[in-house]
Amino acid sequence: DTAVSQTPKYLVTQMGNDKSIKCEQNLGHDTMYWYKQDSKKFLKIMFSYNNKELIINETVPNRFSPKSPDKAHLNLHINSLELGDSAVYFCASSPGGGNTEAFFGQGTRLTVV
């Protein structure tokens, strides 16, 4: 059973389109995240939710809108995609705060052409 699963694994789309990435965790964790990994492999947090409440919004353009319908799901919707949005997006979950480890999904490779 996959603990943190994201769909799709690959996404190729044209500039200007709107796309969504879905994430689900079956670990019973309260906290979920979106991280972005750029072409240089640099990982940076985008958002964090705890029990459906937004805790961290790391100055991400408002074209990116996370939505957490329940604590097991955290989806990422991106409007008006730009070339610079091409990256690998990782969903993750953790039981809570800094003294707990985050478990990551397999990543979604987004390519904007």
Partner 1 sequence: AQKVTQAQTEISVVEKEDVTLDCVYETRDTTYYLFWYKQPPSGELVFLIRRNSFDEQNEISGRYSWNFQKSTSSFNFTITASQVVDSAVYFCALSEARYGGATNKLIFGTGTLLAVQP
Q: Which positions lie near partner 1, rule CB under 8 A?
A: 30-31, 33, 35, 40-45, 48, 50, 55-56, 58, 88, 90, 92, 94, 96-107, 109
Q: How far apart are CA 11 and CA 87, in angstroms?
A: 10
Based on CB atoms, which residue is closest to partner 1, 6 or 75? Answer: 6
The distance of closest approach from Cβ of residue 82 to partner 1 in the complex, given in angstroms and rounded to an integer, is: 23
Compute the least distance from the CB of residue 109 to partner 1, in Å: 8
Nearer to partner 1, 69 or 98 (CB): 98
Nearest to 105 by CA among 19, 27, 18, 11: 27
Q: Give dist(CA 107, CA 87) in Å, integer.
A: 10
Distance CA 3, CA 39 (A): 26
Least Å distance between CB 66 and partner 1?
13
Nearer to partner 1, 48 or 75 (CB): 48
d(CA 58, CA 43): 13
